Chain A
Amino acid sequence: MKSNKKTAIIISIAMIAAAIGYLIFGNFGKNLVYFFTPSEVSAFTQDRYGKKVRVAGLVVKQSLKVDPQTKNINFELTDGAAVIPVSFTGVPPDLFKEGQGAVVEGYWEADRRLHSEMIMAKHSEDYMPPDMKKEGKTLPKKDFFKTLKMD
């Protein structure tokens, strides 16, 4: 009798584990967002259009424009080699500025623009005096938080 119960327990544990394992792996791949550089993005072919990506780069100086009507933000993002245009709707983070580093999450569409609703800004390396780099690491956290709002 005893071994029967043991089997029952093992089976039920295995079933739960399998169910949760399925949940984990089923959702894991779906929710991975890959990072790209502006150069990589500008080389995207059609099959990459419309997939969620994160692009890290510098906001090009004098490229930032706020649409007078919608107050949407348009700017350019660069990694030094390539420049891509970004259309952003939403709330820009506190540290978002021209000449600063930013991670932009969005979709690269057929109009060859990055359409984004989420930006994470950070102090870019050259902005900070070398000593400040250490604290700089905690600074972007705020925006990181903000952007991870539950939905």
Chain B
Amino acid sequence: MTDITQTATLAPGGGRTMERVRLLLRSRSGLVGLIIVIVLGVLSLLSAFGLLPYDPIAQDPPARLQPPSAEHWFGTDQFGRDVFSRVAAGVANSALISLVAVAFATLVGTFCGLVAGFYRGVSDGVISGVTNVLFAFPPLLLALSLASVFDRNWFTIAVAIAIVYVPIFIRVTRGPVLSLREIEYVKAATSTGQSRSMVMFRHVLPNITSIIIVQVTLSLSWAVLTEASLSFLGLGTPPPAPSLGSMIFEARTLIGIAPWTMIAPGVVVVLLVVGLNLLGDGLRDALDPRNRGKK
């Protein structure tokens, strides 16, 4: 993470969007990541609009534990539920929780990081203190403890994951903001009599957007992993709502007789994380000013 903050500090925001998109598409890993994320995104949209071949929670006992076929692409599970539909709904569930969690973490974390780095003083002391405290907990353990406190539903799980990722966004923004506030044009903007919050949002924030974008992508991949781990442990989305983690948990005893119940959600969760990681790496390269102008 440290190299993100160092390399992206001086990247000007806005403009050059096309060049960045071109750079992203040119990097092989970025392109592959983008394609995976789009495919899985479409899958979760199908689920969100109810366009799946079967109802992901409808049981059909006579059709249980069928291997993959034209009728059931990924086979059926021990209750006769269609694994493909369940995987698609699981991806949608995972995407919803991760997106909400990361959006919350980004908004709160970036705002606190900006304030701490730009205003310094008491606000910095308080915000950095809270950040240090949250960093003292191993991430998954913190999510687990928070999830055990709340009444569990998809939203509280998202909040638990968000709280874990807020300090990461604070740390990632605060550092660059500390150096940006000393740069001439920021000082110049302050001296023209603009209010400090105006300078912060207009002149400092746009300069850290590339760091934030990269961090969002990488955090999404961790959020997917965290949500899957929580539901594997039985502390995520409560059943019967399909979640990739709990599907893998249920499938672990069936691996000998119905391996597809494990392989399908397993491959999809790995693909989702790989896609987001590759996209994050690609974005980091594309947004790194040192790579600008490369052929």
Q: A and B: real partners?
A: no
